[in-house]
Amino acid sequence: MPNRRAIYSILLILTLLCFSALAQNSTSAPTIFEPGLISTGHEAAITFERDAQMVYFARRIDRKQPAHIYSSRVVNGAWQAPEQVHLGADSWFDVDPCISPDGKHLFFASTRPLAQSIEGKSNRHIWVADASGQNWINPRPVENVNSGSKDGTPTVARDGTLYFFSDRGRDPGENSIYVAKLKNGKYQIPVMLPQPINTGASDTSPFISPDGRVLLFYSTRPGGKGSADLYVSYNQHGRWTEPENLGSIVNSSEEEDNPVVSPDGKRFFFGRNGNIYAVSISAITVLKSANIR
């Protein structure tokens, strides 16, 4: 029989292993991002400036009023009280902000009416504004991209390629992901991504990595853990791989949406029940080896 000292040693090792596992689980679980300040139960769709010292997100506190884009800045290591970003019209919904990788443009979705003759002015469409110091100026609809249906969640690669979702040609609320190439400073007519990205389910709210090789999105496709799960697909030799579910670290019986990766590629953000959550990329098995920056 093992002596008492050996038994104590085994028990000590088992105890340390248990504490190690608990510590690992506590650090790998998603947490609400800045609760009570940025996440208050009314937010979605986060995006960061290149230095990660300024964040933008959509907020709608009063259901009788439109949603707007807000920003918060880090000062002395602490996020400051968010302020509304004024884009020339406060009577319309402005949501789904996305800062371009070069920091020069703010893409967003808005219900403000389009100048061109597209029906359905109450629908959301893709707009863009230009950086001017601390402000965003000249908001305008993105040429050639919008439809008479809902267009939302723009996301931009480093070469300017634009991804977004739209329910054009489908029933309301059934979305597909589209891509529009930038050529000679103008966007070309969008093309719906083929299978395995768009499958007939609702595939929504894409995020494209700056190098254009990693696509994150949420989908209602069968086999998920909840009403909508987060997925990733990789562009390999010009073709998108079969989307992989991000797993139980982020996906739950609830709906998860609006996936985003921080500029340094180390933190993953997503939405759930009106809050923005954050977790280390290294905690997500299918992403920890990806270089998303």
For residue 9, pLDDT beyond 90 = no
What pLDDT, in 10s, does the model give residues 105-144?
999 999 998 865 455 445 889 999 999 988 999 999 999 9
- The string over 240-279, giving b where at least 16 C-beta atoms fall within 10 Å of a residue's C-beta and e elsewhere, is beebebbeebbbeeebbbbbbbbbebebbbbbbeebbbbb
Which range is least confidently modeled, 47-56, 61-70, 96-105, 214-223? 61-70
Q: CA-CA distance, 59 to 142, in Å (whole number)?
A: 23
Residue 40 lies in a domain: yes
pLDDT at position 15 is 35
pLDDT at position 26 is 38
Name the percent of the chain lying above pLDDT 90.
72
Mean predicted confidence (pLDDT) in 261-288 = 94
Residue 142 lies in a domain: yes
What pLDDT, in 10s, does the model give residues 184-212?
999 999 999 999 999 888 999 999 999 99
What total number of domains does the chain contain? 1
More confident: 45 or 3:
45
Question: What range does the domain containing 169 cover?
Answer: 31-283
Residue 172 lies in a domain: yes
pLDDT at position 62 is 84
Q: Please give the C-alpha separations between residue 275 and each of 46, 99, 248, 257, 278, in angstroms, as whole numbers.
A: 10, 20, 18, 10, 10
Residue 197 lies in a domain: yes
* Burial class of residue 117 (count of CB atoms within 10 Å of its CB; 0-12, 13-18, 19+): exposed
Structural contact between residues 52 and 67, judged by C-beta atoms closer than 8 angstroms: no
Residue 72 lies in a domain: yes
Residue 24 lies in a domain: no
What pLDDT, in 10s, does the model give residues 160-179?
999 999 999 888 778 999 99
Residue 12 lies in a domain: no
Write the CATH number for 130. 2.120.10.30
Closest CA to 224 of 209, 204, 195: 204
Residue 164 lies in a domain: yes
pLDDT at position 7 is 45
